[in-house]
Amino acid sequence: MRLSRLVMTLVLALPLVATTASAASTSRMPITLTSVLPAVAEAVPSPGDDFRITGRTTVSAPDSVAGQLADALRPATGFDLPLVPAGGDIDLALEPGHGDEGYRLTVRKSGVDLRATAPAGLFNGVQTLRQLLPAAAEAGAPIIPGGTIDDRPRYAYRGTMLDLARHFHTPDEIRRYIDQISRFKINYLHLHLGDDQGWRIEIDAWPRLTTVGGGPGTGVGGDGGGFLTKDDYRGLVRYAAERFVTIVPEIDMPGHVNAAQVAYPELTCDGVAPRARTDMRVGYSTLCVRAEITYRFLDDVLRELAEMTPGPYLHIGGDETFATPHGSYLAFQRRLLPLVRKHGKIPYGWHEIGQSPAAGDARLQFWGRERNNPSVTSAVAAGAKVIMSPSEHTYLDMKYDNFTPGGLDWAGAIEVSTAYGWDPATQLGGIPESSVIGVEAPLWSETLRSLADIEFLAFPRLVAIAEIGWSPRATHDWDSFRARLGAYGPRWVRDGVRFHRSPEIRWS
């Protein structure tokens, strides 16, 4: 099923490049096996072995997907790229030996072989193949450079986050973001679904969360509002899975809960509804840690979220709890962390949850700027794993520079070179390299409304984070990265992505 959709993606992509007008042939850099973003692990070019796509080029993929492939080939294109049962000129197949997400791409004069152990690996190989074809092929025949790529990720977790709470983003906008992030082998999308301003995911047992907490005017500054229905959410999970992206839902607690308390005053200790708030302050709200109803509420929310989330993680926030005394915070985590596990999920939270002795094998999302964090060190010693989101490198909501429209600046300006200039393995001292399982670039939405706003802050910086997360340390090289990024520009133009034309990059 997944494989079939993957093959459709490939086949739909090929005719497109085969028929539109050329840009790449006039750009500064010829496409080679090492032009790819994120950088591939190993490439052995074979000059003279280029493969030329023509009107007679055939495509094959495993039997189970042949039908869908044929359907996908029918749209009128310059080239037919007809499907054959096996041994096509462009041949996709599964075989052992390439890991969960890796693949081998072999390009010869006689054809192209893409091999992977799992469908996710084929999908990743297809993203590479797309970038090896011109941004827009001339009416003539596009050429794929000859040689072999052996590629696999450095880290298993390569994520980004959208904040639906401060400004709601629609399912269409989220799908479009998924389309773009998956081009760069980003495989986790974290959705921040509840905060002081708004609550954005339907929960059957507590309907006012969305009817009140997600109502009109619940965005920052009284903007917009809105929420995902369960159907919306399930649809996003499916759409993401077809692109090998796993959704991670977050409900932030015990702080960042004002919208839930406006909807349900019984979630406060005095039972009095707070006023609705759409300013940008943080750290003033807290669930009532000593009240039993708090844990019935959490049990319901986590159960319903777990039911509609096939991925392994539930993100429980845990940051900026200035209104929760430390002892109460620990008492709260002692009850909350087992609830997540009871619903079959691995607890994932901002690194503050590492203060809890109950963190166990939880995932800690490190967002700090310090180079050593004692509670992270001790949580890791007790079995926790870390996802690196150091704010001064990965926060996509920071301005690029003083002139950036929108964005915040508390973690400093982040130009592309700053997003690229760090190493997840050594950024945080006091923990072994093996405890870091990946990277994530959060995009907070206080100042963002539209998809254009999202794209402008995410691209190109998210690509830097994707390369930091996917590519081997030895391939990290700013000059190489900026040249490849500059050459990617025409693809974003073609796709209508409104990226930041960073002055650090020479754009094609």
**Minimum distance of ligand TNX from residue 277's CB (angstroms):** 13
Residue 207 CB, shortest distance to ligand TNX, in Å, is: 26
Q: Could you give the dihedral angle defined by the CA atoms of residues 424, 429, 432 and 438, in that order, rounded to the nearest 10 degrees?
A: -20
Q: Which of 42, 138, 173, 320 is catalytic?
A: 320
Q: Does residue 440 belong to the site contacting ligand TNX (CB under 6 A)?
A: no
| Structural contact between residues 119 and 244, judged by C-beta atoms closer than 8 angstroms | yes
Tell me which of 155, 177, 367, 470 binds ligand TNX, using CB under 6 A.
367
Q: In angstroms, how far is the first alpha carbon of the chain from the final one?
A: 38
Strand partners, 112: 90, 107
**Least distance to ligand TNX from the beta carbon of 13, Å?**
35
| Residues 436, 448: Cα–Cα separation, whole Å | 30
Smallest distance, ligand TNX to C-beta of residue 318, A: 8
Residue 124 or 445 having the CB closest to ligand TNX: 445
319 contacts ligand TNX (rule: CB under 6 A):
yes
Q: Which of 50, 138, 299, 320 is in the footprint of ligand TNX by CB under 6 A?
A: 320
Query: 């982040």: which residue's tokens?
Result: 414
**Residue 103 interacts with ligand TNX (CB under 6 A)?**
no
Member of 408, 413, 425, 483 binding ligand TNX (CB under 6 A): 408
Write the CB contacts of 503 (distance below 8 Å, at least 6 apart in sequence): none
Residue 78's alpha-carbon distances to 47, 52, 127, in angstroms, are 27, 14, 21
Query: Between 274 and 293, how does the x/- string for binding to ligand TNX read (CB under 6 A)?
Result: --------x-----------
Measured from the CB atom, is 197 or 471 closer to ligand TNX? 197
323 binding ligand TNX? (CB under 6 A): no
Q: Residue 222, Cβ neighbours under 10 Å: how many?
A: 13
108 closest CA partner among 63, 65, 152, 146: 146
Site map 240..279 versus ligand TNX, x via CB under 6 A = ----------------------------------------
Please count the residues of the chain.
Answer: 508
In three state form, how does the secondary structure of 53-68 look? Answer: CCCCCCEECCHHHHHH
The nearest distance, CB 348 to ligand TNX, in angstroms, is: 12
User: In whole angstroms, what is the distance from residue 70 CA to residue 360 CA?
Assistant: 49
- The minimum distance between CB 253 and ligand TNX, in angstroms, equals 12
Size of the site for ligand TNX (CB under 6 A): 10
DSSP secondary structure string for all residues of 295-324: HHHHHHHHHHHHHT--SSEEE------TTS
Give the whole-angstrom CA distance, residue 457 versus residue 498. 9
Read off the amino acid at residue 300. Answer: D
Q: Any catalytic annotation for residue 304?
A: no
Pick from 89, 397, 440, 453 the residue near ligand TNX by CB under 6 A: 397
Cβ 359 vs Cβ 382: under 8 Å: yes
By CB under 6 A, residue 444 contacts ligand TNX:
yes
353 or 487: whose CB is closer to ligand TNX?
353
What is the contact surface with ligand TNX in residues (CB under 6 A)? 282, 319-320, 350, 367, 395, 397, 408, 444, 446
> Which of the residues are catalytic?
320
